[in-house]
């Protein structure tokens, strides 16, 4: 359920008292309902659906045999749709190449990118994108033809390596070879099918991309066993939902939808047991699940928004197990901070 103007006013008055709310509104609309709803949420509510740009990597984002989008990032998008529009299907996924998706987001063609975008400083400052929480800690890998007999990246001296245009991989691979005082030839390709075909047709010796991408794409090659993913990770690729700058509330909705998935896992709340947790005496869990509606009211969402996410999709770990475990992924950095990983939700209060 989206934010309604009356919902916001109710929350405001409940929290701060009628007099204060009235005086704030009189004092120049400092906290107008419009500002609280935010232009992106308004647009999405009117349209009735979120527009998300995605890639085509199995496990992360790919349509199933019925044409329904599946994957780890797809479920992150569905969680945001549940929080904001109350329905996991109120999000449309459209494939966009790494080269085109950032300009398309800037142009308002997408409300969000869920395409394995890496958080970088130049994307934040020069391009003006904002990032939600990192949902997958990745690193750049190299997929190489097995018959080359190469076992480490530095062995690729003089090789031709395919890179996808518009990705962080372009700079990373150049940095890597410069750092090692070695040379290579880059073949830059935009289209994903061409990128994979270049490896299969021998136009390149190797391709480089996020390892998340290469693990999935390797399975799509005609003879996966003829290619090996080298052990090194050339870079840090923290992958996060990306939104255009200028709409803080939209960014916060994205942030907290992801945080809800992580926090639910930390508390051991799953799609199977969430109803049991409704009886919890823990005040933090009662606020989280909307048994105590104060958090939902304060932020202008259905108090059950986090409950609905977990009930429908599960927690972060369930998403990981559903989509990535079958591909052989282990949690590693993508584990909770309580289990030695990097995932940490700020508090729900
Ligand atoms: N993380 C890198 C690469 C992003 C990227 O290219 N992601 C892959 C998926 S993980 C992709 O979209 N490939 C094209 C496709 O899947 O069609 C970046 O932000 O530049």
Q: What class is the 140-235 domain?
A: alpha beta
Q: Which atom of ligand 1 is nearest to the CA of 239?
A: 1
Q: What percentage of the chain has pLDDT greater than the value 70?
A: 89
Using CB distances shorter than 6 Å, the residues near ligand 1 are 55-57, 60, 98, 115-118, 164, 167-168, 192, 210, 212-213, 237, 239
Average pLDDT of span 123-149: 95
Average pLDDT of span 183-207: 96
The string of DSSP letters for 270-318 reads -TTTHHHHTT---HHHHHHHTSSTHHHHHHTS-TTHHHHHHHHH--HHH
Q: Flag whether pLDDT at 71 surpasses 70.
A: yes
CATH 3.40.190.10 domain span(s) along the chain = 38-136+238-334, 140-235
Nearest residue (by CA) to ligand 1, atom 10, is: 213
pLDDT at position 38, please?
Answer: 84
Average pLDDT of span 147-167: 96
Contact indicator for 171, 178 with CB cutoff of 8 Å: no
The chain-wide mean pLDDT, for the chain, equals 90
pLDDT at position 320, please?
Answer: 98
- The CATH homologous superfamily to which domain 38-136+238-334 belongs is Periplasmic binding protein-like II (3.40.190.10)
pLDDT at position 126, please?
Answer: 87
Burial of residue 215 (CB within 10 Å: 0-12, 13-18, 19+) is: buried
What confidence tier does 270 reach under pLDDT thresholds 50, 70, 90? very high
Place of tokens 């047709």: 201
Average pLDDT of span 72-96: 98
pLDDT at position 31, please?
Answer: 38
Torsion, Cα 66 71 73 77, to 10 degrees, reads 40
How far apart CA 112 and CA 132 sit, in angstroms, is 10
The string of DSSP letters for 40-97 reads HHHHHHHHTSEEEEE---TTTSEE-TTS-EESHHHHHHHHHHHHHHS-TT-EEEEE--
- pLDDT tens for 6-51 read 343 344 334 434 334 333 333 333 433 444 568 999 999 999 999 9
Q: Choose the weakest-confidence range: 102-106, 223-227, 297-301.
A: 297-301
Q: Which of 58, 71, 115 to mutate to test the pocket of ligand 1 (most atoms within 8 A of CB)?
A: 115
Q: Which atom of ligand 1 is nearest to the CA of 138?
A: 1
Place of tokens 């076992």: 151
Torsion, Cα 257 263 267 272, to 10 degrees, reads 30
């Amino acid at each position: 359920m989206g934010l309604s103007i009356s919902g916001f006013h109710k929350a405001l008055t409940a929290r701060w008292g009628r007099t204060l709310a009235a005086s704030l509104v009189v004092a120049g609309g400092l906290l107008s309902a419009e500002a609280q709803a935010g232009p992106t949420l308004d647009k999405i509510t009117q349209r009735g659906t979120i527009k998300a740009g995605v890639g085509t990597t199995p496990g992360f984002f790919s349509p199933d045999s019925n044409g329904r989008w599946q994957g780890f990032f797809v479920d992150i998008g569905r969680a945001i749709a549940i929080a904001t529009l109350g329905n996991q299907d109120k999000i449309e996924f459209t494939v966009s190449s790494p080269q085109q998706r950032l300009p398309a987001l800037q142009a308002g063609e997408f409300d969000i990118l869920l395409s394995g975008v890496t958080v970088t400083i130049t994307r934040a400052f020069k391009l003006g994108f904002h990032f939600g929480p990192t949902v997958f800690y990745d690193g750049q890998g190299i997929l190489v033809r097995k018959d080359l007999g190469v076992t480490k990246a530095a062995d690729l001296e003089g090789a031709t390596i395919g890179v996808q245009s518009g990705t962080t991989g372009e700079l990373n691979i150049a940095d890597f070879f410069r750092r090692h005082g070695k040379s290579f030839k880059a073949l830059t390709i935009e289209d994903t099918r061409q990128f994979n075909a270049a490896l299969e047709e021998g136009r390149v010796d190797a391709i480089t991309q996020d390892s998340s991408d290469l693990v999935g794409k390797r399975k799509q090659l005609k003879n996966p066993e003829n290619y090996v993913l080298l052990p090194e990770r050339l870079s840090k690729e923290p992958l996060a939902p990306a939104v255009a700058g200028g709409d803080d509330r939209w960014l916060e909705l994205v942030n907290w939808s992801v945080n809800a998935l992580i926090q639910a896992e930390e508390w051991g709340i799953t799609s199977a047991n969430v109803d049991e947790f409704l009886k919890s005496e823990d005040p933090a869990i009662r606020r989280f699940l909307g048994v105590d509606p104060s958090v939902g009211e304060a932020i202008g969402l259905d108090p059950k928004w986090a409950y609905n996410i977990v009930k429908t999709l599960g927690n972060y770990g369930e998403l990981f197990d559903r989509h990535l475990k079958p591909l052989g992924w282990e949690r590693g950095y993508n584990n909770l901070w309580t289990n030695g990983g990097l995932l940490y939700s700020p508090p729900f209060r």
